[in-house]
């Protein structure tokens, strides 16, 4: 398993738990399958998620992805408009 994929999966799981989401709820909110959420959290062994999937995960997890030239950064959002979290 690629170290980056494993670390990314670990981060997604931590963010999901911090937001008090089940894998099923994250899958629904990001409009992806629960199986794909499980694969991501387990450290994908094949190709990484597309930018479209990353954006949907970011929205569901209430994080912002800031793209740099050679890297990207995740920023937590305290809450979304209209939510109480």
Domains defined for the chain, CATH in brackets: 3-76 (1.10.260.40)
What residues contact residue 39 under an 8 Å CB cut-off, 6+ apart?
A: none
Q: How far apart are CA 29 and CA 25, in angstroms?
A: 6
Give the tens place of pLDDT for each residue, 68-83: 777 767 777 665 445 4
Task: Specify whether the CB–CB gap between 8 and 43 falls below 8 A.
Answer: yes
Percent of the chain with pLDDT over 70: 84
Give the tens place of pLDDT for each residue, 13-34: 999 999 999 999 999 999 999 9
Mean pLDDT of the chain: 84
pTM above 0.85, yes or no: no
Residues 59, 36, 67, 75: is their CA dihedral positive or negative?
A: positive
Judged against a pLDDT cut of 70, whether residue 65 lies above it is answered with: yes
| Structure confidence at residue 80 (pLDDT) | 47
Where do we find the tokens 């499980």? 38
Task: Specify whether the CB–CB gap between 65 and 79 falls below 8 A.
Answer: no
């Amino acid at each position: 398993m690629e170290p980056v994929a494993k670390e990314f999966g670990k981060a997604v799981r931590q963010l999901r738990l911090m937001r008090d989401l089940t894998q099923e709820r994250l899958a629904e909110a990001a409009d992806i399958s629960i199986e794909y959420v499980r694969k991501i959290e387990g450290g994908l062994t094949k190709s990484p998620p597309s930018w479209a999937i990353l954006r949907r995960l970011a929205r569901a997890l209430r994080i912002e992805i800031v793209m740099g030239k050679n890297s990207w950064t995740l920023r937590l959002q305290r809450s979304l408009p209209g939510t109480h979290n």
